Amino acid sequence: MNRIDMTSTYLVTGGAGFIGSNFVHGILNAYTDVKIVNVDALTYAGNLENLESVLDDPRHIFAHADIRDRHAMDALFALHKPDYVVNFAAESHVDRSIENPSVFTETNVSGTVSLLDAARCHWQDGDGWGMHRFLQVSTDEVYGSLPLEDSSALFNEKTPLNPHSPYSASKAAADLLVQAYGDTYGMPVCITRCSNNYGPYQFPEKLVPLVINNALNHRKLPVYGDGLNVRDWLYVEDHCRAIDLVLREGRSGEVYNIGGNNERANIELVKTIVEYLSRHTDAAISTELIEYVTDRQGHDRRYGIDASKIKQELGWEPRVGFDEGIKLTIRWYLDHVTWITHAVSGEYESYYEKKYGNEVNV
């Protein structure tokens, strides 16, 4: 984002998580005269260390609150009168949704309705301050799965919703509710559906930081099934730039797909990380650490994004190629080992033990 002057108030939810915190940093770097109200419940995935450098910035106001708490949301809207609302807050990990679906419907569905409705009331009843956009950060997973055999098949914005996991079903439900608020009340909503992100501040339960953290600790690297499931990887800063563009210039009621045009099989990605680490850190890190483990239940085979709409309408394209992005990412984790140590202490240890303990030992 280029640094320019612009007076706007953003209400961002989930801004202590991976993508949300990258978005907060990106906006504060891009605009001098801006206010961000960052609403986060600080679940296991929320981490104030992600925001350390901006906690004293007067343009950034952190509100420790749950989007399901309607009174708290009403109070925040009344106080800050945001121009833009971006809903990142969610339970985001597919494996956890398989273990415990209900918290996913509570946050991702009920929480989104609570936030949406607070936004609607202030948008309708507000005394002329106006809310320009409510943007729901959704996912390509709502479209379901593509076959490996046909690499030309891609998800576009008209692809029917066909989610398979409790996580993606909860995100699809939220998308439908956001669209309903646009259709019923005329609220200025947009939805973005992005592919897999990687970059700084990602919680180490997700594949990229999990592999980095495990390799650095000489732990086995768990690869589900045959390792041939394909994801389309996008550097997180490119996602954040796309979100801000849709917020400001997207058409109301529209969905925009966002993707990296960078499909990789999981095993290929894991080997890329291992290779980099073995060259730059410790020769003992090798592909010997890779262990094929029991597949994820209902594991989507392939995601692939057609992002031509956002390119044609808004001129967005990824700027960070995979070779550069993955090096930046690995470098960041190597430079932030304390951050990893703090992130994986506490709840994550028991999660990891329960999930991988019998198959992937230290």
Annotated catalytic sites, by residue?
Answer: 140-141, 167
Task: Decide whether 194 or 285 has the Cβ nearer to ligand NAD.
Answer: 194
The reply on whether position 21 binds ligand DAU by CB under 6 A is no
Four-CA torsion 103, 187, 311, 208, nearest 10 degrees: -10
Query: Contact letters (x/-) for ligand NAD, 200-229, by CB under 6 A?
Result: ---x--------------------------
**Nearest approach, Cβ of residue 42 and ligand DAU (Å):** 18
| Among positions 9, 10, 11, 19, the unique one binding ligand NAD when judged by CB under 6 A | 19
Site for ligand DAU in 266-325 (CB under 6 A): 266, 296, 303
* Cβ-contact 11, 80 below 8 angstroms: yes
- What sign results for the dihedral spanned by CA atoms 297, 143, 73, 22? positive
Pairing of strands 230-235, 263-265: antiparallel
Residue with nearest beta carbon to ligand DAU: 139
Q: Which stretch binds ligand DAU (CB under 6 A): 86-94, 127-135, 179-187, 237-245?
A: 86-94
| Among positions 89, 277, 330, 343, the unique one binding ligand NAD when judged by CB under 6 A | 89
The reply on whether position 166 binds ligand NAD by CB under 6 A is no
Residue 265 Cα distances to 103, 148, 227, 232, 303, angstroms: 30, 10, 7, 9, 10
Q: Which does 41 bind (CB under 5 to 8 A by kind): ligand DAU, ligand NAD, none?
A: ligand NAD
| Among positions 87, 112, 196, 272, the unique one binding ligand DAU when judged by CB under 6 A | 196
**Nearest approach, Cβ of residue 123 and ligand DAU (Å):** 27
Q: Please, how many CA atoms are within 13 Å of residue 99, restricted to the half-sphere of its CB?
A: 10
Task: Work out the burial of residue 16: count CB atoms within 10 Å of its CB; fewer than 13 is exposed, 13-18 middle, 19 or more buried.
Answer: buried
* Cβ-contact 256, 326 below 8 angstroms: no
Task: Decide whether 94 or 343 has the Cβ nearer to ligand DAU.
Answer: 94
Q: Which does 173 bind (CB under 5 to 8 A by kind): ligand DAU, ligand NAD, none?
A: none
Query: Contact letters (x/-) for ligand DAU, 207-236, by CB under 6 A?
Result: x--x-----------xxx----x-x-----
Residue 57 Cα distances to 27, 36, 52, 53, angstroms: 12, 10, 10, 8
Site for ligand DAU in 90-119 (CB under 6 A): 92-94
Q: Which does 35 bind (CB under 5 to 8 A by kind): ligand NAD, ligand DAU, none?
A: none
Task: Decide whether 220 or 248 has the Cβ nearer to ligand DAU.
Answer: 220
**190: β partners:** 135
> What does 71-112 look like in DSSP terms, one character per residue?
HHHHHHHHHH--SEEEE--S---HHHHHH-THHHIIIIIIIH
**Nearest approach, Cβ of residue 348 and ligand NAD (Å):** 12
Residue 142 Cα distances to 262, 266, 354, angstroms: 19, 20, 27
- For residue 338, the SS3 value is helix
- For residue 175, the SS3 value is helix
The reply on whether position 339 binds ligand NAD by CB under 6 A is no
Q: Which does 222 bind (CB under 5 to 8 A by kind): ligand DAU, ligand NAD, none?
A: ligand DAU
Task: Work out the burial of residue 158: count CB atoms within 10 Å of its CB; fewer than 13 is exposed, 13-18 middle, 19 or more buried.
Answer: exposed
Count of beta carbons in the 10 Å neighbourhood of residue 360:
17
- Enumerate binding residues for ligand DAU (CB under 6 A): 92-94, 139-141, 195-196, 206-207, 210, 222-224, 229, 231, 266, 296, 303
